[in-house]
Amino acid sequence: MLTDTPLSEAMADARHNMEICNACRYCEGFCAVFPAMQRRREFSTADLDHLASLCHGCQGCFYACQYAPPHPWGINVPQAFAEVRAESYAAHAWPQPMGVVFARNGTLVSLLTAGIVTLVLILAGAMQSSDVMLAPHSGPGAFFAVISYNVMVFTASAAFLYALLAMVLSTASFWRASGGRFRPIHFARALHDAMTLKNLGGGGDGCNYPGEGFSFSRRWLHHAMAYGFLLCFAATAVATIFHHGFGWIAPYAPLSLPVILGTVGGVLMLIGTSGLLWLKILADPAPAARAVLGGEYALLILLATVAKTGLLLLVLRGTGAMGWLLALHLGFVLALFLALPYSKFIHGLFRTAALVRDHGER
């Protein structure tokens, strides 16, 4: 059933695109979007929401399209779907009023980050004397001499649990809106597609980035960033086990598991985010959605900054710079956690959900 509510401009544009694409179907070999489109004859907003999240923005269909601008039909699927995704993220944000942040995502993620980092620095300065902040610390508990263990763990846990809850509820809302049956086998297949970025394969030669030529650069850089992020997360998890399970107190030795995981993860994140930023700067503006670029830049820069401050902290942890660096790094980490549900980061969950639904439809 098509809804009678007036369509947003992005939805109307996406429907115009899909109606023409579904009468053409030349792109069926590129990715999961086009076979999914071919299962439909009409495109409700729920269908368009689903297809938009299924789209990985590889841009293969744009360069292959006989109806791309300046053709009067102006078909531009990657752009139309990027705009629909921004609306999806807003519509399913939890709590719902937070959806408005997706309209000015670049600005608001940047402002949130600036605010949180400033607050953490002020609080660190207020709660700790400048002698302690500026003195070199060493040995177990060096970090906690600057910011107390309880404050650090409570703040981090609360922020992380909040982000997790908001993201899970958002994704659940997205899943319910477009329907679909959940089966573990579909989830397993979707997870495989998401972890390998299969749909950035563009039919075998990669996606069209930064321009018309084919390349796997975006896929590899995204892998570096995403797996780097997961390694950093693993480093924190291992450190928690060390602390509570074994009573081993941070900072850990350079060759300890948390430091190795964090270092490798941080370097990968830095490579991935820097590379993706560089690709974005070089990218052909024609298939891009200008309205969402700000949010994408903001998250990439935030992730890169978390990685950079973390690595810097590792290098300088034996010096007097450690105190303020630690506060700075934790400020960025806190900002990242709080921004996760309200940033481009949410695309990973929505896209995985769309992939699960897609496997269920096949």
Partner 1 sequence: MVDLTRTYDVLVIGGGNAALCAAVTAREAGASVLLLESAPKPFRGGNSRHTRNFRGMHAAPTKVLTGSYLEDEYWDDLKRVTGGNTDEPLARMTIRVSAEMTPWMEACGVRFQPALSGTLSLSRTNAFFLGGGKALLNAYYATAARLGVDILYDAEVTSLHVDDGFVRSAEITYRGFPARVSARCVVAAAGGFQANLDWMRQYWGDAVDNFVIRGTPYAKGKVLKTLLDQGVAAIGDPTQFHAVALDARSPQFDGGISTRLDSVPFSIVVNRDGVRFYDEGEDVWPKRYAIWGRLIAQQPGQIAYSICDSRAFSLFMPSVYPAIKADSIGELAHKMGLDAATVETTVAAYNAAVQPGRFDSSGLDECRTEGLSPPKTHWARRIEEGPFYGYPLRPGITFTYLGVKVNENARVLMADGKPSANLFASGEIMAGNILGRGYLAGFGMTIGTVFGRIAGREAARHARN
Instruction: Find all residues with CB under 8 Å of 117, minimum gap 6, and list them.
Output: 328, 331, 332, 335
Give the tokens for residue 46. 């729920």
Q: How far is the CB of 71 from partner 1 (least distance, A)?
A: 7
Site membership for partner 1, residue 69 (CB under 8 A): yes
Q: How far is the CB of 41 from partner 1 (least distance, A)?
A: 5
Strand partners, 208: 214
Q: How far is the CB of 34 from partner 1 (least distance, A)?
A: 10
- Which of 71, 176 has the CB closer to partner 1? 71
Site membership for partner 1, residue 226 (CB under 8 A): no
- Which of 105, 208 has the CB closer to partner 1? 208
Q: How far is the CB of 26 from partner 1 (least distance, A)?
A: 3
Do residues 299 and 343 lie in contact, with contact meaning Cβ atoms separated by under 8 Å?
yes
Site membership for partner 1, residue 71 (CB under 8 A): yes
# residues near partner 1 by CB under 8 A: 30
Residues in 14-43 that interact with partner 1 by CB under 8 A: 19-20, 22-30, 35, 41
**Tokens 């670029």 sit on residue:** 293
- Which of 15, 92 has the CB closer to partner 1? 15
Site membership for partner 1, residue 285 (CB under 8 A): no
Dist CA 158 CA 275 (whole Å): 32
Figure out which of the listed residues 6, 70, 247, 285 binds partner 1, where binding follows CB under 8 A.
Answer: 70
Tell me the C-alpha to C-alpha distance, in Å, between residue 88 and each of 170, 189, 347, 348: 10, 23, 10, 13
The angle at the Cα of 250, spanning 244 to 251, to the nearest 5 degrees, equals 165
Of the candidate spans 62-70, 98-106, 262-270, 312-320, the one that interacts with partner 1 by CB under 8 A turns out to be: 62-70
In order, the DSSP letters of 288-332 are S-HHHHHHHHHHHHHHHHHHHHHHHHHHHTTSTTHHHHHHHHHHH
Binding site for partner 1 (CB under 8 A): 19-20, 22-30, 35, 41, 60-61, 63-72, 203-205, 212-213
